[in-house]
Amino acid sequence: DAGVIQSPRHEVTEMGQEVTLRCKPISGHDYLFWYRQTMMRGLELLIYFNNNVPIDDSGMPEDRFSAKMPNASFSTLKIQPSEPRDSAVYFCASSWTSGGATDTQYFGPGTRLTVL
C-alpha cells in the first residue's frame, strides 16, 4: 500500500488567500484524522471522521477552518481566509478500528504551510 498521501507537501501563500490541503487515506481505513503541529502548541487534533462522517471538530481553531470527506478515499482541510498564525505542518492520519478495538494511526508525510 502507498500509505497515507497528502498534497501538496509544501504550500506558501499570502494572508487572506484560501488554502486547501488534501489527503488520501489508506484503503479500507474507516477513521481519518487531521492534526496540526507547531513548535509552540505541539501536535493538536483538529477534526476526525468515521466512515466519512465528522465525529468531533472541537479542535478546529475557528470558523476559518473547515474539513470535508466526500468519500472514503479523499478528504480536504480548507482555511479561508488564511492568516500568518496558521503557518504549521498539517498531518492527515488514518486507522482501521474493528469491534471497538483501538488500532494504530498511520500518518501522512504532512503539508508544511507558510502564510506570509
Partner 1 sequence: GDSVTQMEGPVTLSEEAFLTINCTYTATGYPSLFWYVQYPGEGLQLLLKATKADDKGSNKGFEATYRKETTSFHLEKGSVQVSDSAVYFCALSWGGYSTLTFGKGTMLLVSP
CB 81 within 8 A of CB 90: no
Q: Does 97 bind partner 1 (CB under 8 A)?
A: yes
Contact mark string toward partner 1, 19..58, x via CB under 8 A: ------------x-x--------xx-x--x-------x--
107 contact partners, CB below 8 Å, separation of at least 6: 4, 35, 91, 92, 93
d(CA 37, CA 44): 6
Q: Does 2 bind partner 1 (CB under 8 A)?
A: no
Least CB distance from residue 83 to partner 1, whole Å?
24
| Comparison of 61 and 80: residue with beta carbon closer to partner 1 | 61
**C-alpha torsion 40→22→80→88, nearest 10:** 10
Select from 17-25, 71-79, 80-88, 108-116 the region that touches partner 1 (CB under 8 A).
108-116
Q: Does 102 bind partner 1 (CB under 8 A)?
A: yes
Burial class (CB in 10 A: 0-12, 13-18, 19+), 87: middle
39 contact partners, CB below 8 Å, separation of at least 6: none
Select from 18-26, 63-71, 77-85, 98-106 the region that touches partner 1 (CB under 8 A).
98-106
The residue ranges that bind partner 1 (CB under 8 A) are 4, 31, 33, 42-43, 45, 48, 56, 91, 93, 95, 97, 100-110
